[in-house]
Amino acid sequence: MGQSLTEIAQTLRDADKKVQLIYAFNGSGKTRLSREFKQLIAPKEHVPEQEGESDIKILYYNAFTEDLFFWDNDLEADSDRKLKIQPNSFTDWVLREQGQDRNIVENFQLLTNDKLTPHFNEEFTEVRFSFERGNEGDTEFVKISKGEESCFIWSVFFSLMEQVVNVLNIAEKENRETDKYDKLEYIFIDDPVSSLDDTHLIELAVNISELIKSSHSDLKFIITTHNPLFYNVLFNEFNRVKKTKKWILEKLNDGTFSINELESDSPFSYHLFLLAELEKAILPTGEIKKFHFNFLRNILEKTSTFLGYNKWEELLPQESREAYYRRIINLSSHSKHHGEEIAIVDDKDKRVLGFLVNEIKRMYGFKSRINTNTTE
């Protein structure tokens, strides 16, 4: 039986763990869960209205964090593009009071390009970007990409996290430089910087884990992601950390949700997780969507690489191989994200999917996933 996101938020709170990792497909409710959790921990009527109050109970990074930043594109002259920072106590504290602008620049350049440089104004209300090329010419400011903008916003949030962890690591409250975060209970991180390549994504995961492991206070952390590599790196980093839980969040066909704990000490294998989803979809009680063909293609791609085949279609049943290949290509090419594809799949294609899933399991010795207690 499914749960509401409010009920799942309560499950996370009641778990009372230092670190909780949550894997979920895009469109499965990760960002809505962060809102529900924030509302549970700090209902709106209890959120401090005046700057300087020390009743902050949760900091959270998700899609809505980006509302603190907006572009002034200088549409008339098209020469002075700058990212404006909405007035708020968090960036004021980390930039004006803590002077973390240099660290923000360094964190940003680690994730992007060591030549791409943010320039804050004196009031820290706006930032411009330029490529530093080592010459004496005039600085030309540029508008960065959406991915680079996300990296910058994350760098601001990460610097805020670092300062908060350092402050709360001082056990005696009277010795802390600020009481602003004395009541802080949670930091909720929802899908940070999904546009990174694998190398930078691994580095980001390691940096987050090192910061969290350096926290000696009662502060708790919840991290959600749709990226299996990011999840697995964090899984391994926190594998020996006590008071850690790892979850899989799913959106069910009836619009409710489920969250299941990963009991194993080994990180989950993404292709086996997809196989479990396919097995459930082809059951008489299941529901097949176009994105399930993308799941099948993903499994074939990973398996062909492991087995040394040059092309994933070589793993398809030899009889009618070309027809199966064309069908998968046609149905998977526009169905890359779970939750985004709702088009009806006809009965013939449903039968094809069921046949291929069962044949691939038989041909390559995959163990059925829905008859076990774990989806690792």
Interval 191-231: pLDDT, tens: 887 778 888 888 899 999 999 999 999 999 999 999 888 99
The two tokens of residue 108 are 């940003």
CB-based contact 186:219 (threshold 8 Å): yes
CB-based contact 149:194 (threshold 8 Å): no
| pTM, entire model | 0.79
pLDDT along the chain (376 residues), means of 10: 93 96 90 93 61 74 75 66 88 92 95 94 94 73 90 94 96 93 95 82 92 96 92 87 90 91 73 88 88 88 89 90 86 54 76 93 87 44
* Sheet strands (E) in the chain: 19-23, 58-61, 69-72, 82-85, 116-120, 126-131, 141-142, 186-190, 220-225, 244-251, 257-261
Q: Which domains does the chain have, with CATH numbers?
A: 5-261 (3.40.50.300), 270-364 (no CATH)
Interval 260-279: pLDDT, tens: 998 766 666 778 888 988 99
CA 119 – CA 158 distance, rounded (Å): 18
Tally of CA atoms within 13 A in the half-sphere of 315 that contains its CB: 28
Residue 178 DSSP SS3: coil
Burial of residue 59, with CB atoms counted within 10 A of its CB: 0-12 exposed, 13-18 middle, 19 or more buried: buried
Instruction: Return all residues near 269 (Cβ < 8 A) that are at least 6 apart.
Output: 376
